[in-house]
Amino acid sequence: MKTPFFVLLASVGLACGSTPQTSAEPRSVDPSTESPTMPNTRTLTLRPDHVYEVTGIWIRDGQAQAMSDYFGRVFPIAAADYGVRPLFGLEPIHVYRGDFHPNMMFVNEWPSLDAFQGFVSDARAVALFPERDAAAERLVVTHYEVPQETTIELSEGDVIEFGAMWIKPGHEQDFRAYYETVVPLARRHGMQPLTPLRPVFSYRGEFEPTGAGLNWWGTLDAFQAFAREAEPHFPTRDAALSRLEVTHARVRLNEGET
């Protein structure tokens, strides 16, 4: 059986360096082994019946406090009435391809897309959105589904890769062949897949890729070593894609509480 295609798109630097879940398990943990004495580590379970919001914000100069004040007012509405759960923040440190280099990123879990849409239609939240828009130079918000329940473990400061790609119509098999060639190289350099992401709704930023994903890298140097070794294969990848966005970021667990 062929790998479902949006699972194949688990990431993009391989477009970046991920592996189909039918051939390798994602970087995951047994929840029963979580240690309560490790405050800088968080265990998260991603579920296919929820949706996951990936947000990137480019903050205007001098507006960081205004953005913080906005979140302080709007988040209680989202949490109390619509069930949002902040999972973790990401501090972008490197862009491999594209221009996705916001000042701040975060990943939220919503019970459903309807819950999110209810929140953005709530009159109390709508009244606050001008504060957000005045403080943001650019805002990208896309919602995704995951293919299966997966438990992952993240630690403060981990290097995570967020990748998104746009495959040219008719080039799916070309990309698949490229992908299967470079997967072993990425794994040899320490990449571990976290989860593929299937886009289901773009709220802001017109960010609607064919597929996206999150990968774990031990260090940024490990990714760069992979990229040097895999470079001869990249023309094949690039011929199959109309757009590629790959950003590396450090996990910031204090950006969201479970």
- The C-alpha atoms of residue 5 and residue 219 are separated, in whole angstroms, by 28
Alpha carbon 14 to its chain's center: 15
Residue reference for tokens 């918000």: 141
How would residue 183 be classed by pLDDT, with cut points 50, 70 and 90? confident
> What pLDDT, on a 0 to 100 scale, did the predictor assign at position 114?
98
Pairwise pLDDT comparison (28 vs 45), residue with the higher score: 45
CA dist., res. 66 & res. 59, Å (int) = 10
Share of the chain above pLDDT 90, in %: 81
Say whether pLDDT at 65 is over 90. Answer: yes
Indicate the pTM of the whole model: 0.84
Residue 257 or 254, more confident: 254
Is 13 a residue whose pLDDT tops 50?
A: no
Q: CB neighbours of 208 closer than 8 A, spacing ≥ 6?
A: 142, 199, 202
- Rounded to 10 degrees, what is the CA torsion of 156, 57, 97, 164? 80
